[in-house]
Chain A
Amino acid sequence: MGDECCSLQMGARVPDFTIKTFNPAKMNFGEFSLKEQIRKKKWSVLFFYPADFTFV
């Protein structure tokens, strides 16, 4: 694993990121960006899972 593991410390600022998203409520594609969350002063929960078509 080396430097890939656990590089983020608790309480540390998460590096800015933007990912593409599918929004099932609106049936459209969009983006989620940390900067935008900070601008909106909102909490974020990232929920990683291995793969679609399996259990999460």
Chain B
Amino acid sequence: MRKLGAELVTVSTDTEFVHLAWQGSEKMLQDVKYLMGADPTGNLSRTFGVYDKESGLALRGTFIINPAGELMNSEINYFNLGRNVDELLRKLEANIYLGKNSAEACPAQWKHPGDKTLKPSPSLVGKVFEEMNR
């Protein structure tokens, strides 16, 4: 993600001290380079609508914010469903591409920069099929 120019921050309601202890003891995390954010008050989790009152924990929410500080993507999974990192990267790449090419849109099944995009305009109305199969 850093290659794409984005900063990844993982966030839970644990403190940064617990993050340190976990990262130090869990072998799966020994090579992590991303920042581990602490939200012990749950305030940030509340802002994004992922705070679960019953447990005091954050749901599996993923949010992409552009360089202007605007929310461009959100996905929230319940506790028992993990995420697909490939899908996150796809959406991040799409958002970064669209940030640089604001007249275009990435249609369904768009996977990588270089794949076909659409330029919404009056001539495209009712002609998406023709445009996608040109």
User: Do they bind each other?
Assistant: yes
Interface residues of A (CB under 8 A from B): 1, 4-17, 19-25, 27, 29-30, 32, 34-35, 37-38, 40-53, 55-56
Chain B interface mostly: mixed
CA distance A12 to B18 in the complex (A): 32
* Shortest distance between the CB of B86 and any CB in chain A (Å): 14
Cβ–Cβ < 8 Å partners of B21 in chain A: 52
**Which of B49, B57, B61, B67 is in CB contact (< 8 Å) with A43?**
B67
Could you tell me which residues of chain B, from 48 to 88, have a CB within 8 Å of some CB in chain A?
48-53, 55, 57-74, 79, 82, 88
The tally of residues in B whose CB lies under 8 Å from a CB in A reads: 68
- Are B1 and A45 interface neighbours, CB within 8 A? yes
Interface residues of B (CB under 8 A from A): 1, 4-23, 26, 29, 32-39, 43-53, 55, 57-74, 79, 82, 88, 92, 95-96, 99
Residue of B39, B49, B69 contacting most chain A CB atoms (<10 Å): B69
Cβ–Cβ < 8 Å partners of B47 in chain A: 7-8, 14-15, 17
- Are A10 and B74 interface neighbours, CB within 8 A? yes
Cβ–Cβ < 8 Å partners of A20 in chain B: 15-16, 37-38
